[in-house]
């Protein structure tokens, strides 16, 4: 087959037994098209019998031209953070209802992906956030986030108190249950449920959304995409920072969380005709009759 993508990695939802059958069917289909197929090693450990080479996500750089993720938006979020530094484009296949990121159904995936591999697709770049935690002047932790970086109080603690600076300039003090720092992609996730605005994914912007702020004048704010954010913890009893709701780190008083746009975007491939607004209508039920 004449395709830009010669070696394709298949990655399934971790420990999801029901994903094994469609994943292997897709693998056989792609191999039958003359393409080289590899499987993520964690995915492979949950497949009973297969003959495909297994590669760890962190070792796919330079070895894989395209990654196809079968699962849901959460699975794709986790994969995207790992593969973004390698500039590997992603296709998302949803095992259930179509998601914001995984917009191809299992029922139609072979026909749709076949067309895409022949060049019938559109490319979309989405920004990632890079976050680092410093304590006593030394960086002690860092991570990437596709959706959001969330600082929140512990289950049994009082509100967090923090100071927010943008590009070195003081913005505000926050006394709240938490603070969400979101990408446009994450603006339809936790940020939205906390009252934040929906940002089109093509925007280069970052949104800050307080969670249950003590001062009701603390409202969400959208800042430029290349802004350098610093969050200084003044009260952090049992406080924790989470990255896409997956990775987390416990914070102490006087810790500093630095957040900025990551240098490499996530590259998503969609079938031609893909519409973000159509996805919004479907997911947020905007298409319901009045």
Q: Which residues are catalytic?
A: 73
Distances (CA, A) of 149 to 88, 103, 182, 202: 23, 24, 6, 19
Backbone angles phi, psi at 25, to 5 degrees: -65, -45
- Separation between Cα atoms, residue 285 and residue 148, nearest integer Å: 23
Those residues whose C-beta lies under 8 Å from the C-beta of residue 108, and which sit 6 or more positions away, are none
Those residues whose C-beta lies under 8 Å from the C-beta of residue 79, and which sit 6 or more positions away, are 11, 57, 67, 69, 90
Q: Which two tokens stand for residue 49?
A: 């019998």
Comparing C-alpha atoms, which of 133, 148, 156, 141 is closest to residue 233? 133
- Separation between Cα atoms, residue 40 and residue 46, nearest integer Å: 10
- Separation between Cα atoms, residue 88 and residue 81, nearest integer Å: 11
- Separation between Cα atoms, residue 88 and residue 90, nearest integer Å: 7
- Separation between Cα atoms, residue 58 and residue 61, nearest integer Å: 7
Is there a contact between 146 and 77 (Cβ–Cβ < 8 Å)? yes
Q: What is the dihedral of CA 14, 18, 20, 25, to 10 degrees?
A: -140
């Amino acid at each position: 087959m004449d395709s830009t993508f010669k070696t394709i990695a298949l990655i399934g939802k971790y420990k999801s037994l029901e994903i094994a059958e469609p994943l292997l069917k897709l693998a056989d289909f792609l191999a039958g098209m003359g393409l080289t197929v590899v499987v993520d090693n964690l995915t492979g450990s949950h497949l009973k019998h297969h003959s495909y080479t297994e590669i760890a996500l962190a070792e796919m750089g330079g070895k894989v031209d395209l990654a196809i993720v079968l699962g849901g938006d959460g699975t794709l979020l986790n994969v995207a953070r790992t593969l973004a530094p390698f500039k590997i484009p992603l296709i998302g296949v949803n095992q259930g209802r179509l998601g914001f990121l995984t917009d191809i159904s299992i029922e139609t995936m072979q026909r749709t992906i076949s067309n895409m591999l022949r060049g019938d697709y559109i490319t979309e770049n989405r920004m990632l956030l890079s976050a680092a935690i410093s304590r006593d002047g030394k960086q002690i932790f860092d991570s990437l986030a596709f959706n959001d970086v969330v600082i929140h109080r512990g289950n049994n603690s009082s509100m967090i108190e923090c100071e927010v600076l943008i590009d070195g300039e003081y913005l505000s003090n926050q006394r709240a249950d938490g603070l969400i720092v979101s990408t446009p992609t994450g603006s339809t996730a936790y940020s939205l449920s906390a009252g934040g605005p929906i940002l089109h994914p093509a925007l280069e912007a970052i949104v800050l959304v307080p969670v249950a702020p003590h001062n009701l004048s603390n409202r969400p704010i959208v800042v430029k995409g290349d802004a350098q954010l610093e969050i200084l913890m003044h009260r952090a009893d049992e406080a924790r920072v989470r990255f896409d709701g997956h990775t987390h780190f416990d914070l102490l008083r006087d810790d500093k969380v630095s957040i900025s746009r990551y240098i490499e975007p996530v590259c998503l491939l969609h079938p031609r005709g893909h519409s973000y607004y159509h996805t919004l209508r479907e997911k947020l039920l905007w298409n319901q009759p009045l």
